[in-house]
Structure formats: C-alpha cells, structure tokens
C-alpha cells in the first residue's frame, strides 16, 4: 500500500534533512498531520521566513538578517583577533560562553578532497582580504579536530603566517571530568601537545 501523494511528498521532504531516514521522516510526517492547523501554518511560515530573510554576512560569513552582521558592526569587540570557524552554528556555540570578545570568520566548511572541496570552495579569499587590515594581530583557528579540520588549520596557518600575523589553534585534548584510561590515542596526543605550565 502506498501513502497518499501529500504524505509521500512530506516524507520525501523530511528525508532531505541530514540524519533523517525513512522511518523518522514517516514519523515526522504523521506528527505534522496531527498538529493543529495553526501550528503547521506557523511552521511553514518560519521555514519560508528563514530562507527568505537570512543571508550570509558580507564580511565574516555569519548567518544574519542585517548586513554586516551584529558582531561585525560592534565596535566594542576586539578588532585585533579573528576566530575562524567552520559554520555559523559554531559562532553561536562560542558566543554562549560570553568570554571571547573578538571577531569571527566562517569558512562554510573544511578542505575535503574526497568530497571535492578545495580552498576555492571555502570562504578563504575574504579572510585574507580582512587580514590586510593592520588592526588584526591574531587569527585563532577553531576548526574541528577531524582530519579535514586539521588539514584546513594547517593550510590556513601556512597562508597567514608569512603576513606576520600570529596564528593559534584551539586546544584539543582531555575534556573536563574525563578519565585518561578511557581517552583514545589521538585525544591523549593532543592533550600532551597542548600541555600548559602550572
């Protein structure tokens, strides 16, 4: 038995989302059908508004309603540091700690030859243009501790260091509250390499 076309299309739409398989998509489709009509309308409007009203900041690549974004417009922020992240959601995560007061730059991904992503596919050219501003003294690279993230960090470091700008990398290693015996070799290696004097 096949689902009626509206349900089948809704299931197909949910399956386009990352991490959503056919079972979860089917469950979400039937949940959506059981929602009150006003909630479904609000949900649809939210999707349309997000797609229509949001775009990438022309300076840093963050997702924003206004261009430039609020962070780039904020002259109270430290103009001498730029923290480089993979995606806009990473900025939101870092901003939650309320400690970092510098600027950001979003790469929109990482180098991944397997996936056909090279330097020209990332938001690197605009980063290099920003670094021509003499106010920038340090670039903090905050890509993930994956092979692609490490390769991207190394690539960026080699591009930036000749300009005389300090390049740092977020520390990797043991998380607070973890036991050494349960850590994998790469985590331990990063913890030893990133050790600090006490």
* Strands 138-141 and 78-85, sheet pairing: parallel
pLDDT tens for each residue of 128-153: 999 987 799 999 999 988 889 999 99
Topology given in CATH for the domain delimited by 63-169: Dna Topoisomerase Vi A Subunit; Chain: A, domain 2 (3.40.1360)
CA distance 94 to 121: 24
Residue 170: pLDDT band with limits 50, 70, 90:
confident
Mean pLDDT of 40-50: 96
Q: Between 127 and 174, name the one with better pLDDT.
A: 127
pLDDT interval class at 66 (50, 70, 90):
very high
**CATH 1.10.8.420 in the chain, residues?**
5-53
Using the predicted structure, report yes or no on whether residue 197 has a pLDDT greater than 70. Answer: no
Distance CA 96, CA 103 (A): 15
Could you tell me the CATH superfamily of domain 5-53? RecR Domain 1 (1.10.8.420)
Give me the residues paired with residue 106 across strands: 85
Q: Compute the mean pLDDT over every residue in the chain, rounded to the nearest whole number.
A: 91
Give the per-residue pLDDT at 80: 94
H or E element, residue 55: strand 55-56
pLDDT at 186: 74
Alpha-carbon gap, residue 117 to 75, rounded angstroms: 34
Residue-wise pLDDT for 175-196, tens only, equals 777 776 777 777 777 777 776 6
Every domain range in the chain assigned CATH 3.40.1360.10: 63-169
> Model pTM?
0.82
pLDDT at 119: 94
DSSP secondary structure, 67-121, as one string: SS-HHHH-TTSEEEEEEEESSHHHHHHHHTTS---EEEEE-SS--BGGGTB-GGG
CA angle, residues 170, 171, 173, in degrees to nearest 5:
140
The whole-number average pLDDT for the span 97-117 is 93
What is the pLDDT confidence band of residue 198, given thresholds at 50, 70 and 90?
low
What pairs with residue 85 in β-bridges? Answer: 106
User: How many percent of the chain have pLDDT more than 70?
Assistant: 96
Three-point CA angle 139, 70, 54, nearest 5°: 105
Strands 166-169 and 78-85: what pairing?
A: unpaired
Rounded-to-integer distance, Cα 130 and Cα 104, Å: 11
As a whole number, mean pLDDT of residues 8-21 equals 96
């Amino acid at each position: 038995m096949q689902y009626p076309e509206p349900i089948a299309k809704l299931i197909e739409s949910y399956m386009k989302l990352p991490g959503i398989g056919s079972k979860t998509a089917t469950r979400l489709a039937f949940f959506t059908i059981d929602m009150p009509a006003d909630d479904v309308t609000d949900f649809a409007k939210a999707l349309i508004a997000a797609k229509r009203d949001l775009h990438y900041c022309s300076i840093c690549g963050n997702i924003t309603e206004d261009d430039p974004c609020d962070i780039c417009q904020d002259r109270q922020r430290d103009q001498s540091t730029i923290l480089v992240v993979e995606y806009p959601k990473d900025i939101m995560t870092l901003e939650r700690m309320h400690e970092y007061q510098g600027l950001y730059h979003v790469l929109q991904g990482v180098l991944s030859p397997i996936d056909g992503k090279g330097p020209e596919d990332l938001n690197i050219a605009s980063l290099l243009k920003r670094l021509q501003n003499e106010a920038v003294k340090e670039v903090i690279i905050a890509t993930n501790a994956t092979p692609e993230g490490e390769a991207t960090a190394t690539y960026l470091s080699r591009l930036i260091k000749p300009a005389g700008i300090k390049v740092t990398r977020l520390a990797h290693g043991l998380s607070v509250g973890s036991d050494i015996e349960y850590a994998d070799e790469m985590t331990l290696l990063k913890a030893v390499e990133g050790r600090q004097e006490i």
